[in-house]
């Protein structure tokens, strides 16, 4: 087993790890990447990409049942759940193969196996318990990601109680479903299964769905979901799951009241925990808090030469945040002069349910709590020509400005394609744009983006079309 020397070794080939490895190679660092399962990580193989493929199928299914509104008539509408899943898996596989190509193109050496720290500047790689290689490197980036959190008594069994993995490859669409957790992952699955015809119940421990979003957007989302037929219980918990026949009986508590519902399947979507076990952190200066590795602004841990990025470290736990952290980390290692620490307030968040939800920066409540005198702008999709033409009149754009400086503090959206629109505000905020530049920006007509402009105008009492 020969030792192999590198400038940098990356543990984990997800959107943080593989991007870090490629950027390091571009900067002239001799780089190795260790991945034990699938290149592209959870996001590409079991998260971001395959779920969007499924949600696209659900969107089409929904539209097919509303074709009369567009002047069409069709006969019986049928679907094949296995074909839906197969399409989703094929897209994930294609992109995983693409990551492998990009790593080869950039001359990153890939080791198929499990990596762990094995002393200062050393990484041991094994596969199925057998040694593969021992690597030496001045720098090691931990990008081992995270896994679904579980609760005692609600442990997934892969058959009736699912994590996101089982939820993405159903043999058939269940007739009834309980989703535990109303964050982005839970709501996306609730939206998918409801649009595919399942009766869906959502239970959330906090007082509102999508609790990370602006409260006003959260309220609009709940109203829309309930209109679609999704049953939502907030301030609630699942006390027990009991197997009955081919399904489950779920005991739900809200305050002092409790009741039982029968469902075929349950999806657990109650957060994540970092993959900190089995990677050699024992005896190092790497600190772990609440199952996540502690890092500084340059992604350095407390152990010299060891860094951590992505879902393994702090929130927000998003693929694009992980990728950006990977770039910041390796550019700092390589001594790039103009590298800047990540500003988490400039990271957009997207939820791909129906209607879509996207946000950036401070909510109205957080801005007020931080001491800002705010100016708030709103513009409804129902007053936007393109939204009406699309048949997507449900939605709103909300903007939050500092009333003194005009700085854009936050933007919050619900409606068709807002996950694409939010990047306009992300660019504006990164450039430290004020209301004046946004007001003077010319938005094309007719587009959904005009609602973004009108929301800015509304914050300053200048809205034209509302």
Catalytic residue ranges:
445
Long-range contact list for 97-100, CB < 8 A, 24+ apart? 99/13, 99/18, 99/39, 99/40, 99/44, 100/39
CA distances, 34 to each of 49, 153, 267 (Å): 22, 35, 31
Report the distance separating Cα 190 and Cα 181, nearest Å: 10
Report the DSSP pairing between strands 122-127 and 130-142.
antiparallel
CA distances, 364 to each of 100, 112, 130, 420, 451 (Å): 43, 47, 54, 22, 19
Question: Which residue blocks in 128-208 are alpha helix, DSSP H?
Answer: 164-167, 184-195
Number of H helices, E strands in the chain: 13, 24
Q: Are 87 and 53 in contact (CB under 8 A)?
A: yes
Q: Are 407 and 401 in contact (CB under 8 A)?
A: yes
DSSP one-letter string for 355-390 = S-EEEEE--HHHHHHTT--EEEEEEEGGG-HHHHHH
Report the distance separating Cα 193 and Cα 47, nearest Å: 16
Burial, 44: exposed, middle or buried (Cβ in 10 Å; 0-12, 13-18, 19+)? Answer: buried
CA dihedral 114, 117, 118, 123 (to 10 degrees): 60
**What's 345's DSSP letter?**
G
Beta strands in 76-121 (DSSP E): 109-112, 114-117
**What's 74's DSSP letter?**
-
CA angle 234, 237, 242 (to 5 degrees): 135
DSSP one-letter string for 422-439 = HHHHHHHHHTT-BHHHHH
* Nearest partner of 85 among 77, 95, 97, 93, judged by Cα: 93
């Amino acid at each position: 087993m020969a030792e192999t020397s590198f400038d940098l070794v990356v543990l984990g080939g997800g959107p943080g790890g593989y991007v870090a490895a490629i950027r390091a190679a571009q900067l002239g660092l001799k780089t190795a990447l260790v991945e034990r399962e699938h290149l592209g990580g959870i996001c590409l193989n079991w998260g971001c990409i395959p779920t969007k493929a499924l949600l696209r199928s659900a969107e089409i299914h929904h539209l097919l049942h509303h074709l009369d509104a567009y002047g069409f008539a069709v006969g019986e509408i049928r679907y094949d759940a296995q074909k839906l899943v197969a399409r989703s898996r094929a897209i994930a596989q294609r992109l995983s193969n693409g990551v492998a190509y990009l790593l080869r193109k950039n001359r990153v050496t890939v080791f198929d196996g499990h990596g762990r720290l094995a002393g200062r500047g050393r990484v041991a790689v094994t596969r199925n318990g057998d040694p593969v290689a021992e690597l030496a490197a001045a720098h090691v980036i931990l990008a081992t990601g995270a896994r679904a959190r579980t609760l005692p008594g609600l442990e997934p069994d892969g058959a009736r109680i699912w994590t996101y993995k089982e939820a993405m490859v159903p043999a058939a669409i269940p007739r009834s479903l309980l989703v535990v957790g109303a964050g982005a992952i839970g709501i996306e699955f609730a939206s998918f299964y409801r649009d595919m015809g399942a009766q869906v119940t959502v239970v959330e421990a906090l007082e509102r769905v999508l609790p990370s979003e602006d409260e006003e957007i959260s309220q609009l989302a709940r109203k829309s979901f309930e209109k679609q037929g999704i049953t939502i219980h907030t301030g609630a918990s699942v006390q027990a799951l009991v197997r009955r026949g081919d399904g489950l009986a779920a005991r739900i508590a809200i305050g002092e009241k409790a009741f039982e519902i029968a469902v075929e399947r349950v999806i657990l979507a109650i957060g994540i925990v970092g993959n900190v076990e089995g990677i050699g952190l024992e005896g190092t200066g790497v600190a772990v808090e609440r199952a996540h590795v502690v890092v500084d602004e340059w992604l350095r841990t407390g152990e010299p030469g060891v860094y951590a990025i992505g879902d393994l470290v702090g929130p927000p736990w998003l693929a694009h945040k992980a990728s950006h952290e990977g770039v910041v980390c390796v550019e700092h290692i390589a001594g790039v002069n103009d590298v800047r620490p990540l500003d988490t307030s400039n990271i957009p968040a997207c939820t791909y349910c129906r209607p879509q939800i996207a946000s950036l920066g401070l909510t109205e409540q957080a801005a007020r709590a931080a001491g800002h005198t705010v100016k708030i702008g709103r513009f409804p999709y129902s007053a936007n020509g393109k939204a009406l033409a699309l048949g997507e009149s449900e939605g709103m754009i909300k903007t939050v400005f500092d009333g003194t400086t005009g700085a854009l503090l936050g933007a919050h959206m619900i409606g068709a394609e807002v996950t694409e629109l939010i990047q306009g505000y992300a660019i504006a905020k990164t450039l430290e744009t004020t209301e004046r530049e946004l007001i003077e920006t010319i938005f094309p007509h007719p587009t959904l983006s005009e609602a973004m402009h009108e929301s800015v105008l509304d914050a300053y009492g200048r809205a034209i079309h509302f």
